Amino acid sequence: MASQAIIECTSYSSEVIKTYDIFVSFRGEDTRNNFIGFLFQALRSKGIDAFKDDEDLKKGESIAPELLQAIQGSRIFIAVFSKNYAFSTWCLRELAEICKCVKTSRRSVVPIFYDVDPSEVRKQSGCYKKAFAEHEERFKEDKEKMEEVQRWREALTHVGNLSGWDIRNNLPNDDLVGIESRVEELANLLCLESMNEVRVVGISGMGGIGKTTLARALHERISHQYDIHCIIDDVSKIYRDSSSVGVQKQLLSQTLKEKNLEICNAFEGTCLAWTRLRNARALIVLDNVDEVEQLRMFTGNRNTMLRELLGGGSRIIIISRDEHVLRTHGVDDVYKVQPLNEENAVQLFCRNAFKVNFILSEYEKLARDVLSHAQGHPLAIEVIGSSLYGRNASQWKSALGRLKDNKSGNIMNVLRLSFDQLDVGDREIFLDIACFLNGYHEKFVKEVLNFRGFQPEYGVQLLLDKSLINIEYENIEMHSLLRDLGRCIVREKSPKEPIKWSRLWDNQDLRNALLDNQVKLIV
């Protein structure tokens, strides 16, 4: 690992004690929220003092005195070359100054090639060629600037020829299929570069779709940037068991790193939060929130909301299956997690079913049947794929046959939580859509539900908020797993006696029910 080798480099002695152990030159928009974050976290954990620049210092045409002092006062230099590094005149000025220091002292510079070929750096080809074409066009009338551009080229060639680390396609969380694009999208909603505001973003989506996985992946990448950070699991359960005091205790215990923290009541917890957390720059994840009341964890007129307590630059992520809870709380934006696309669904299934990244030829059709059933649902893909690992084709066919009638309990139990939280009338609407109305036009569905004596305007919107249905091209659409859940619920009390079911949607079940009724009438 590059960071480990860099850490070892700092053990070498130096003739002069410098201000910083390491100065890192990097392009923030390429690397700040992923590799660079992990690098600085690793360095700090080993007690290594590394200078991390502030974007506010990068103004004007010359290097700010603070940056110049940091470069001149560092023992070792790291240059993280990424795709857009050479487009930044600031990065190039830093590199030129680093090379000047290396030539005049016994210090060294370590290159890291982050998702870019080392030859592009030392030859200024590819994206680096494009960057220099822009610089030369911009400065072509200024002789001194053109001489500076030439020094930039020489610096890139020199450092690009040094032995370093090529970490292309070696990102954190590489084992989490489809996570990269989702983390980036969520990070964009959080506006991480804004240091003044406190921003709150919600994550919603159906059960098992990957909401918690996404939040944890982002937390892992950026938590080192905050004064305090925490993830509170299952806020709903904590609140049910011990009210707002329990949520306060979890929040304060984690952020203050005090395991045996005692809080007698909500007022005491509010006072402690006001004293210890006020104006702190924090990253807080609140998982599985199902009621707005669970987010009102503080008492009194001031700081009744967490966002009002924390300092500028803080970020709060709230995870809930119910988008209405998030909107009611007043989140700044909501990220709705969608099913995996076909490419990622295939990759995830293959990793679980075959332990490789491709479908084995003799299982092609069977695998496609599974993926069609799962419709991009990560939990379903993992559970079904793992259950099929090591089985032969005949066993696959048998397992898929059983899936039609006996759904995996691991999957259904996760999905059922949302159904169980519905009121009686809304459960009936859910079951009607699952059994009969999936795929029909919204207007028609509401007409049928209204005829059935329900309140479809409110009920349909509630199911939308809870991610139990979607509306696509004005049609009501329910995920196949949720449809299966509804039908399982209808059948569960008398699975072999369709005449006792509240709904019949299959022709064979209808015939059997009619036949059973005729037999009973005769008897």
Q: Which two tokens stand for residue 153?
A: 């080229």
Identity (one letter) of the amino acid at 268? E
Residue of 520 and 516 predicted with greater confidence: 516
Q: Is 474 left (phi over 0), alpha (psi -120 to 50) or beta?
A: left
Q: What is the pLDDT of residue 16?
A: 44
Identity (one letter) of the amino acid at 167? I
Assign 323 a pLDDT band (cuts: 50, 70, 90).
very high
How far is 369 from 388, CA to CA, in rounded Å? 13
Strand-strand pairing, 470-472 and 475-477: antiparallel
Least confident of 55-59, 168-172, 414-418: 168-172
SS3 call for 282: strand
Least confident of 218-222, 421-425, 458-462: 218-222
Least confident of 30-39, 202-211, 248-257, 265-274: 30-39
Assign 216 a pLDDT band (cuts: 50, 70, 90).
very high
Average pLDDT over residues 415-429: 93
Question: For helices 393-405 and 364-374, what crossing angle results, to 10°?
Answer: 20
Sketch the domain layout of the chain as residue ranges.
Answer: 2-166, 179-336, 342-406, 415-522
Whether residue 78 contacts residue 112, with contact meaning beta carbons closer than 8 Å, is answered with yes
Residue of 338 and 9 predicted with greater confidence: 338
Apex 314 CA angle, 313 and 315, nearest 5: 120
How far is 306 from 235, CA to CA, in rounded Å? 14
CB proximity list for 482: less than 8 A, separation 6 or greater: 206, 415, 434, 468, 469
| pLDDT above 90 (res 345) | yes
How far is 184 from 311, CA to CA, in rounded Å? 24
Same topology, domains 2-166 and 179-336? Answer is yes
Type and span of the H or E element at 481: helix 480-491
Whether residue 106 contacts residue 56, with contact meaning beta carbons closer than 8 Å, is answered with no
Nearest to 268 by CA among 239, 297, 291: 297
Strand-strand pairing, 50-51 and 20-25: parallel
Q: Which two tokens stand for residue 331?
A: 């989140």
Assign 175 a pLDDT band (cuts: 50, 70, 90).
low
How far is 399 from 371, CA to CA, in rounded Å? 14
Would you call 243 exposed, middle or buried from its count of C-beta atoms within 10 A (0-12, 13-18, 19+)? middle
**Would you give the distance in Å from CA 109 to the centre of its chain?**
34
| pLDDT above 50 (res 446) | yes
Q: What are 480-503's pLDDT values in tens digits?
A: 999 999 999 999 888 888 888 999
Give the best-scoring range by mean pLDDT among 160-174, 222-236, 445-459.
445-459
Which CATH superfamily includes the segment(s) 2-166?
Toll/interleukin-1 receptor homology (TIR) domain (3.40.50.10140)
Which single residue is written with the structure tokens 């700090």? 44
Predicted TM-score (pTM) of the model is 0.66
How far is 81 from 110, CA to CA, in rounded Å? 11
CB proximity list for 398: less than 8 A, separation 6 or greater: none
Q: Across the strands, what pairs with 441?
A: 475
| pLDDT above 60 (res 8) | no
Q: What are 366-375's pLDDT values in tens digits?
A: 999 999 989 9
Whether residue 310 contacts residue 281, with contact meaning beta carbons closer than 8 Å, is answered with yes
Residue of 319 and 165 predicted with greater confidence: 319
Identity (one letter) of the amino acid at 50? A
Residues labelled catalytic: 94
| Long-range interactions of 181-186: CB distance < 8 A, separation 24+ | 182/210, 182/214, 182/217, 182/337, 183/214, 183/217, 183/218, 183/221, 185/335, 186/214, 186/215, 186/218, 186/317, 186/335
| pLDDT above 70 (res 518) | no
| pLDDT above 80 (res 395) | yes
Q: What are 46-91's pLDDT values in tens digits?
A: 788 888 765 545 555 567 788 888 899 999 999 999 988 999 998 9
Q: Which two tokens stand for residue 398?
A: 């048998």
High-pLDDT (> 90) share of the chain, %: 52
Q: What is the pLDDT of residue 461?
A: 95
Integer Rg of the chain from CA? 29
CATH of 415-522, one of 3.30.365.10, 2.102.10.10, 2.40.30.10, 1.10.10.10: 1.10.10.10
| pLDDT above 90 (res 136) | yes
High-pLDDT (> 70) share of the chain, %: 88
| pLDDT above 80 (res 181) | yes
Which CATH superfamily includes the segment(s) 179-336?
P-loop containing nucleotide triphosphate hydrolases (3.40.50.300)
